[in-house]
Structures are given as C-alpha cells and as structure tokens.
Structure 1
C-alpha cells in the first residue's frame, strides 16, 4: 500500500521559501484523483500560482528527469517541474518530497472535448514522445515493459477473498454482490488477457518511450488553447500500443471516430498490433478493478470516497464502457 503522506502547511511554506524563494500566501488542497501516491495542492504566492505535488521520499526523480528532458527537446507540451534554487527537480520535506509545477489554467479532455486542432496536436506530440532519442545516461532509470501478471493475480486473490471472508460494511457488501454477479465475466477477462499477452509477446514489438497513462484526464488544454501533457509520472519503454490503446478505449470518456481520425492525422499511420491494443486495454481494466476494489477493501478513506471507487469499478462494465471497447478491439 502507498505510504501515508502527512500535509503540514507551515512546513510546506518553509520548504518552498528555502528551496524556491517563494513566499507562500496560501496552500489549497486539490482532489488528487486516482493517484494514491501523492497529495496535490494549488499554491498561491504574491503574484503567482503554482501546482504542487507531495510524494513519498521513496519515489525517485527519474520521471521528473524524463519530463525535464522532453520539455527541453522541443516537446514543450510536456509539463516539466520548476527547478529549485540549486537546480534540483524536487525538494525534501520530512519523509516526503515536493515537486513544483507552473499552474496551468484550462481544462482536461475529461472535462471538455478537445478541438480538432488539439486532437491533431495531441497526435503530433505523442509521436514526438515515441520518437524521442533518450540518452544512455537516462535509459537505465526508465523501467522496461515486463508484461507483469501482478494485477491479474491480485484480481484472482480478491475474488477468492470475497468467497472466503465475511463483510459488514455496506459499500463492501455492494461490491461483493457485484463481484459475485460478474464473476464469470471477470474470469473470462482474466483468460482473454492471458491469451492476448501470449500472442502479443511472441511478436517482439520494438520498445519506445511511453507515457503509460495518457487517458483523457492527462490531456490538458491551457487558457490559450495550447495542448499540454500532464502526469508523466510513470514513463516506460514499451511498444507504442501501450499508449495508443487509450485512443478510442472508452476509459474516462469515449472518443468519437472523428476524434480518432484527427489524432492519427497528427500521429501518422502506425504499424500497430490489434492484439497488443486489446491486451493493454484488458490489462488496464483489470488494474483499475483491482485498485478500486482495494480502495473499498483495505484503504482508510471516507465512506463517500469508497462509494466513488466502487462506482468507478462498476463503470468498466457499463454499456459503451471500457470493457465493451476492449472486447470490440478484436472481433
């Protein structure tokens, strides 16, 4: 489970003053969304606003180095951290670290549709990321795709636990009932994911730098209409399908056929594997189911947050939802 982060406004203000020379007026917590491993804030200073992430000290800065590298390689759409006075990408505070970004006024693709030009820019930007020539000094710090079976195994464990344990919490009981109702479909999903992985791995696809979480919530448009790529926190060397699977996946929001066409007008016509797209979509659904189920079963969070996690879990199975899109990838 993620380390429990503690927020101390005075300590944060002192850290920002000492490391960035920023005199803080106010620090406002922001809903961190699905990132269980960070606290996020809007920082107001005299005349400026910043976006702040607080992360466990155990999280290394390799993702920040990637963000900084890409931003300085003519891929300015990738949001990169503001450096400290001594040119570091984060600042230590107690048992955690602070990462400071410019505060971007605008909206995400989860909130509003992108314009036609934004979709083309998104395709162009992702192509530049996939084509980036990463220096050897940085390559060793970026994880490699291993086609991990962690989340499928976790889902099997959760299904077993639901049969063996007894529960009293109303939200947990609702989830248990849903899992029992969908158990056959969950087992079908697990089997399909395993079969697709076997076919896909045999193809030996080339590896490129991937964002790995480029869903609608991480496609952002600033107040001037410019596209921004945010939350580049889990870079990975993987086949292009690791990112391309999000286009038309139904995750967070459905993309229209016109939007998909506009994206590929910017990206170009890639040689991708439908088996790989289907695998990554199924794998992502399993991951989301596990993480939301763990929210309900294990995490010390508010009742309303547990209910929200359960709703997100269930939404994967809705008509027109991610599971339907995943199964339609290969008829």
Structure 2
C-alpha cells in the first residue's frame, strides 16, 4: 500500500499535464492496493480520473491509447503529458490522467440489455484490435502466472491449517475447510489442463483480463466504458469471455437473457470449453488466495479485512466463482 500523496497531486497534474485542478476527491472502491485513484475537476469544469500507481507496468495505458486510437468505442485514452508521454513519474510512481466518462458503475447500477449488448461489442472490438510489436513485447501472457497462483493457494491452505487459530484466521479456516475438496480438485485440474492449454493455445488477442462489472461504467442509450486496464494481457479470448460464459461478471449470476445480449453484441465465436474452464479455475484460485491474504493482512484496516472476508465467503457461495469453476470442470469432464 502506498502513502496518501493527495496534497501534491494537484501540483503534479498542473506541472506534468498542464491541467489546473480545483477539486480532488479520493475514489475508494477498487482492489489494487498499490494504487490511488481520485476524481478530479479542472477549473473549466472538466472531470478527470487521476491515478498514481506504485506497481505493475504501464501496459494498460499503452493498450488504451492504442485501442482508442483505432476507434474502439468504450475505451477512454489517457491524456498525454506536456512532453507527449502517456504518464509521468512522481516519487517512483506512475501518474496518469484519463477523462472521467461516467458516474454510474455497472456493479449495482441499472444495467439494461442494451448495456449488455454494448459490453459484448466493446470486447469484440478489443479482441479484433491489431497486436503491435510494442504490445506484444509489453503485455504479459494470460494465465502465465498460474504456477505462482497454485503456490499461493497451497500456502494459504497450509496457513489456515495451523493450530492456535483465532479471530479472522479461525473464521477463514472454517470457510476453507468447507471447500477443501473442491479447492484441491481445482488445483489438480489446473495442473492437468495446463498441458492441454499449452499444446492447443489458440490465437492470442488483446484481452482486458479483468472485465467484471466493477470495471464497467454505464452511460445513456446503452453506452458503456471498460476501465482499469492494469491486468491487460495477450491471451486466447476465453480469458475475457469467461466473465460472460462462466457467469463471473458480478456477485450475482449472469442471467440467460443478459448473457444472450452480450453474445449478440460480441458476435459468433467458437469457444474452447477446456480453455474456458482452465481460465475459470485459475481465476477462482487466484481470487480465493489473494482475498484471503488481504483478510489476514495485519497492516490492513479492520474495515478492509472485514470486506475481504465477505468476498471470500462470496467466492465459495453457491453462486460464487469457486462453485462456478467447479461446475465448469465437471461439465467438461462429462462432455469427454
């Protein structure tokens, strides 16, 4: 987690981007512990999203600039600095400025079927975008960190089996114990399918990597914007499509009508069920282990730890991602 640099941000934006701000409001939703986000208002009334990132790479900024330059609707390009770069450097962190496109988040918002269709259209346009040499060099490969995710999952499971548990550790140990068999099965399936996915990788396209409803903003007449591209990757399209086909777009299941609208916007696609199930399983284990880590972080606030515990409980619920991934793997086995 990075320190709060709010008092300096307005000065940095003025010096680096030539924008004079008269308001700067922290945005608290989001799971990136290495970043700070503000809603800013310039003296002329224009709204901006100002972000200070302490980790990762600038790949997301390069991707959004590239996609917006190709005319992809629903992707907001970063504003250039005074010297034409996509971001500036401040105290070892990346400072970026993007237009503030909407106040309405899809998560918990009034998402219509027109929005669902537009969501599919945006994903289709992203996946159809040309992969430049710069993108190929900078973007990581989707699913490439699965071994690290398996190691982290095993480590959390071991930590929660230790004696002398109390408080949040005891609560989470109870949660993990309730899904011990499914989690072990997911780990085995990821290891088994990794060979198949590697040998039959499918074409790699630009993928957002994390296009859930929390990263979708809504506008009038069905307009949507896909934001927060920090997890952009080169991967088979199943890496993104699992958020529709696997039902993981929100904390509530995606309905058949919503799924149909999104796929109508996306267009005809031949989905590989093995790749889809593999990406679902990897994501389920990643979320489960990472949110558990956050729930047990002694440096986090009590509110943040409590929120993380709720997320973990949601992941293992009947509609949660662990359950959805387990079901997808079961269906894959039955189809063979």
Q: Does 151-160 or 98-107 show the bigger shift?
A: 98-107
When you count helix as a share of all residues, which structure comes out higher? 2
Counterparts of 2:113 and 2:102, CA distance in 1: 20
Shift of 1:87: 1.5
> Take 1:202 and 1:55, find their aligned partners in 2: how far apart are those partners?
36
From 215, 218, 221, give the equivalent of 1:221.
Answer: 218
1:275 aligns with 2:265: no
Aligned to 2:112: 115
Change (3 A) 1:33 1:137: closer
Deviation, 1:312, is 0.2
Is 1:303 aligned with 2:269? no
TM-score (norm 2): 0.90
Runs of 4+ in 1 over 6 A off after TM superposition: none
* Match of residue 23, structure 2, among 26, 34, 37: 26
The CA RMSD measured in Å over matched residues stands at: 2.0
| TM-score normalised by length of structure 1 | 0.91
Matched length = 326
| CA–CA distance in structure 2, aligned partners of residues 16 and 204 of structure 1 | 42
Shift of 1:289: 0.7
Q: Helix, strand or coil for the counterpart of 2:104?
A: strand
Give the CA deviation at 1:248: 3.9
Provide the secondary structure at the position in 1 that maps to 2:279. Answer: helix
Q: d(CA) in 2 for partners of 1:266 and 1:304?
A: 39
Q: CA deviation at 1:70?
A: 0.5
CA distance in 2 between counterparts of 1:39 and 1:143 reads 23
CA contact (8 A) 2:127 2:207 kept: yes
Residue 194 of structure 1: CA displacement?
Answer: 2.3
Structure 1 equivalent of residue 313 of structure 2 = 314
Q: By how many angstroms is 1:15 displaced?
A: 0.4
Aligned to 1:241: 238
Contact 1:32/1:40 (8 A) holds in 2: no
User: Conserved in 2, the CA contact under 8 Å of 1:38 and 1:55?
Assistant: yes
Residue 224 of structure 1 and its aligned partner are, at CA, apart by: 5.8
Q: 2:66 aligns with which of 66, 69, 72?
A: 69
Structure 1 alignment gaps of length 5 or more: none
Are residues 1:90 and 2:90 paired? no
3-state SS, counterpart of residue 294 of structure 1 = helix
Aligned partner of residue 81 in structure 2, secondary structure = coil
Query: Could you tell me which residue of structure 1 aligns to residue 170 of structure 2?
Result: 173
Aligned residue in 1 for 2:285? 286
Report the Cα offset of residue 299 of structure 1.
5.1
**Alpha-carbon offset, residue 277 of structure 1:** 1.0
1:113 CA displacement: 4.5
